[in-house]
């Protein structure tokens, strides 16, 4: 955190507001309370001065003196400084404690916090938040020491697991004011730690001025290949990847076969993008053999290749990162919710309830295998008396889901739940059941996997029961963020696990607001077998 605390930018706004001016034009006086002479005080002072010079060059540093990190010392130094110069606008402390001391001294001399603005360098105890809330403090650079401590233990865990960890792990810092205090306290301003630059005891920024451009490598052109664009899920992933690419100033070339089963076209699409000169490419394979061919083509050209919505390492070829969610574990969670729905229908408990489930399978692949296996495991674990009365492929399609469900209901009108390996098939089943006069969430339930926008709309309308939300938009963003790290020369995990959460009408709004998303983490590979992705202890 040192130099990057360059938080003079916030003081420029405070001073400018005080004098009804602009940061670029305002004048003002700042007094700096130094910590004990060390790299900590050097970096926090240097960064702050750099921030003042950059944002409000007419503001003057009228004094600086050590207060030894102490509140009492901060009070003493500030009292003397104000007697010499009563027009000081800001006391900036290399730590909160010194700045709080200055605030108390100023108030004892009759100054209000609206007259004298106060800064600090590190996040601190709840007392600081109380002072911010009460208008007794102006701003702090929050570095969230609690989450920093969590990061230490998380890093130990990765080391014990044999994972590579960056030499420098940079935790975030954010300027906290009364306006964003609650978001900070709620953890909304925290971002995941990243690999960073070492901090040296010199007069230069920790991150070189040219580093952002150098790390991003300029305007990259990247390729993105879904298995097809017939599903809202893949369209949403494209939306996320495209939006993030545009933010970075990149060009993203999205190409896809006409159908998910056209494996030959999938390979051709990848080869064409490579010939066009993309600098990195991400693919969502369905057919393993075709994917290996595509991976080898990228390897031959030295182009980084990622696999998204897919965390099963190929037997051949080199993939930089596999990005996706745990399908088995997610399906198992969805099954637990399904058990609760059935139990509620029959006024029973999940452990005791009986019921009938029909499974709509996707195209035969690891995707349908894992989503079916995990769901069955979840039923067995949570409601062992519930019976799977049928399973049939609906090829990931809504129309096919309707056809299969209509026939199934004619054979057995007592089906309680249609579970689709994808939302689209389950939506089709729900439509078919309603056409036969059944009432969703009363006579039957429809549950699926993806968390696509059409599904979320139906949840809101009471026309769907539950979905495993995997946030395809943010998964698409994660793909591009991972490419950015690769371009910057950073190490990335082989398996990047994105989160999944069961979404019901009750938590739908939180899901839409992004509150249920957690940052991707290094994970286990998913194998095409009958075992959970994450080994059970």
Question: Which one has a higher pLDDT value, 409 or 194?
Answer: 409
Assign 110 a pLDDT band (cuts: 50, 70, 90).
Answer: confident
Q: Considering the domain 327-469, what is its CATH architecture?
A: 3-Layer(aba) Sandwich (3.40)
- Apex 210 CA angle, 207 and 212, nearest 5: 70
The pLDDT mean for the chain works out to: 91
What average pLDDT does this structure show over 289-314?
Answer: 94
Find the angle CA(136)-CA(139)-CA(140) to the nearest 5 degrees.
Answer: 115
CA 535 distance to own-chain centroid: 24
Query: At residue 122, does pLDDT exceed 80?
Result: no
In Å, what is the CA distance from 198 to each residue of 170, 206, 207, 214, 391? 9, 7, 8, 16, 56
Residue 459's region, left for phi above 0, alpha for psi from -120 to 50, else beta, is alpha
Smallest CA-to-CA distance from 459 within 414, 417, 426, 500 is with 426
In this prediction, residue 10 carries a pLDDT of 52
Phi, psi of 349 (to 5 degrees): -115, 155
E strands, 81-173, are 90-93, 117-119, 140-142, 169-170
CA dist., res. 528 & res. 522, Å (int): 19
Determine the CATH number of domain 212-324: 3.40.50.2300
Instruction: List, in order, residues 6 or more apart from 140 with CB less than 8 Å away.
Output: 96, 99, 119, 120, 122, 123, 124, 128, 132, 175, 176
26 contacts 15 by C-beta, under 8 angstroms: yes
> How many angstroms separate the CA atoms of 145 and 46, rounded?
22
- Cα separation, 180 vs 443, whole angstroms: 46
Token duo for residue 489: 């020369």
pLDDT surpasses 70 at 464: yes
Nearest residue to 497 (alpha-carbon basis) of 530, 466, 529, 474? 474
Give all strands of the β-sheet with 59-66 in edge-to-edge order: 59-66, 28-34, 90-93, 117-119
- Would the CA dihedral through 419, 420, 422, 426 be positive or negative? negative
- pLDDT attached to residue 400: 98
Place of tokens 């509150």: 515
pLDDT band at 136 (very low <50, low <70, confident <90, very high): confident
What's the CA gap between 102 and 118, in Å, rounded? 8
CATH class (in words) of the domain with range 3-141? alpha beta
pLDDT at 216: 45
The mean pLDDT of 446-458, rounded to a whole number, is 96
**DSSP string of 477-501, one letter each residue:** HHHHHHHHHHHTT----SEEEPP-E
Residue 123 has pLDDT above 50, yes or no: no
pLDDT at 187 over 70: yes
**Residues 319-340, mean pLDDT to the nearest whole number:** 98
Q: What is the pLDDT of residue 218?
A: 73
Q: What is the DSSP string of 502-526?
A: EE-TTTHHHHHTTTT----EE-PPP
308, 237 contact by CB (below 8 A): yes
Mean pLDDT of 255-273: 94
- Confidence at residue 120, expressed as pLDDT on a 0 to 100 scale: 47
- Cα of 249 vs its chain's centroid, Å: 20
**Does the pLDDT at position 116 exceed 60?**
no
- What is the distance between the alpha carbons of residues 177 and 211, in angstroms, rounded to a whole number? 28
Collapsed DSSP state (helix, strand, coil) of residue 236: helix
Residue whose structure tokens are 């939302």: 423
Percent pLDDT > 70 in the chain is: 93
Q: Is the pLDDT of residue 121 over 60?
A: no
Mean pLDDT, rounded, for 211-232: 77
Classify strands 194-195 and 169-170 as parallel, antiparallel or unpaired.
antiparallel
Nearest CA among 224, 237, 282 for reference residue 473? 237
- What distance lies between CA 123 and its chain's CA centroid? 23
For 20, how many CA atoms within 13 A lie in the half-sphere containing its CB?
Answer: 0
* Per-residue pLDDT at 214: 38
The whole-angstrom separation of Cα 537 and Cα 534 is: 9
Percentage of the chain beyond pLDDT 90 is 77
Lowest mean pLDDT among 2-16, 30-44, 227-241, 365-379: 2-16
**Lowest-confidence pick of 1-5, 232-236, 423-427, 493-497:** 1-5
pLDDT digits (tens, 9 = 90+) for 401-410: 999 999 999 9
CB 124 within 8 A of CB 96: yes
Quick one: pLDDT at residue 308? 98
SS3 of residue 253 by DSSP? strand
Q: Using CB atoms within 10 Å of the CB of residue 126, give its burial: 0 to 12 exposed, 13 to 18 middle, 19+ buried.
A: exposed
Instruction: Report the alpha-carbon distance of residue 362 to residue 367 in Å, rounded.
Output: 8
DSSP string, 364-396: TTHHHHHHHHHHHHHHHHH-TTEEEEEEEE-TT
Torsional sign, CA 188, 192, 196, 198:
positive
Average pLDDT of span 315-337: 97
Whether 297 and 268 have beta carbons less than 8 Å apart is answered as: no
Give ranges for CATH 3.40.50.2300 in the chain.
3-141, 212-324, 327-469
pLDDT of residue 209: 55
């Amino acid at each position: 955190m040192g130099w990057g605390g360059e938080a003079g930018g916030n003081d420029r706004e405070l001073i400018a507001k005080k004098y009804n001016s602009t940061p670029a034009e305002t004048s003002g006086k700042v007094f700096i309370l130094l910590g004990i002479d060390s790299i900590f005080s050097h970096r926090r002072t240097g960064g702050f001065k750099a921030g003042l010079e950059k944002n409000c060059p007419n503001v003057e540093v009228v004094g600086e003196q050590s207060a030894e990190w102490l509140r009492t010392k901060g009070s003493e130094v500030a009292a003397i400084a104000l007697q010499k110069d009563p027009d000081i606008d800001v006391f900036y402390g290399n730590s909160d404690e010194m700045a709080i001391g200055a605030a108390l001294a100023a108030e004892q001399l009759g100054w209000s916090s609206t007259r004298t603005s106060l800064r600090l360098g590190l996040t601190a105890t709840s007392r600081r938040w109380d002072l911010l809330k009460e208008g007794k403090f102006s701003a702090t650079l929050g570095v969230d020491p609690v989450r920093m401590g969590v990061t230490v233990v998380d890093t130990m865990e990765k080391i014990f697991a044999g994972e590579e960890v960056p030499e420098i792990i940079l935790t975030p810092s954010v300027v906290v004011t009364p306006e964003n205090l609650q978001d900070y306290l709620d953890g909304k301003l925290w971002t995941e730690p990243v690999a960073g630059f070492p901090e040296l005891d010199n007069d230069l920024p920790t991150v070189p001025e040219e580093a952002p451009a150098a790390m991003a490598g300029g305007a990259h052109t990247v390729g993105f290949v879904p298995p097809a664009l017939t599903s809202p899920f893949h369209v949403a992933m494209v939306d996320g990847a495209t939006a993030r690419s545009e933010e970075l100033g990149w060009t993203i070339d999205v190409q896809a076969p006409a159908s998910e089963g056209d494996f030959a076209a999938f390979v051709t699409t990848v080869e064409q993008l490579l010939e066009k000169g993309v600098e990195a490419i991400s693919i969502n394979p369905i057919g393993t053999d075709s994917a290996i061919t595509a991976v080898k083509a990228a390897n031959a050209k030295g182009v980084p290749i990622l696999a998204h919505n897919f965390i099963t390492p190929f037997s051949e070829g080199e993939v930089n990162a596999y990005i996706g969610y745990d399908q088995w574990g997610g399906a198992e969670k969805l099954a637990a919710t399904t058990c609760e729905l059935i139990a509620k229908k029959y006024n029973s408990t999940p452990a005791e309830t009986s019921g009938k489930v029909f499974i709509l399978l996707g195209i035969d692949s690891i995707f349908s295998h894992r989503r079916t296996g995990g769901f069955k495991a979840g039923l067995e674990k949570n409601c062992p008396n519930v019976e799977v009365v049928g399973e049939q492929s609906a090829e990931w399609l809504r129309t096919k889901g309707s056809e299969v469900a209509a026939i199934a209901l004619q054979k057995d009108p007592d089906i309680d739940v249609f579970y689709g390996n994808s939302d689209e098939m389950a939506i089709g089943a729900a439509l078919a059941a309603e056409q036969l006069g059944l009432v969703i969430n009363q006579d039957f339930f429809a549950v699926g996997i993806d968390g696509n926008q059409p599904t979320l709309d139906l949840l809101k309308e009471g026309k769907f029961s539950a979905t495993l939300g995997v946030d395809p938009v943010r998964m698409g963003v994660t793909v591009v963020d991972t490419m950015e790290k690769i371009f910057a020369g950073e190490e990335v995990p082989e398996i990047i696990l994105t989160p999944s959460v069961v979404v019901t009408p009750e938590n739908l709004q939180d899901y839409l607001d992004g509150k249920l998303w957690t940052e991707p983490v290094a994970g286990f590979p998913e194998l095409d077998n009958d075992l959970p992705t994450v080994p059970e202890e």
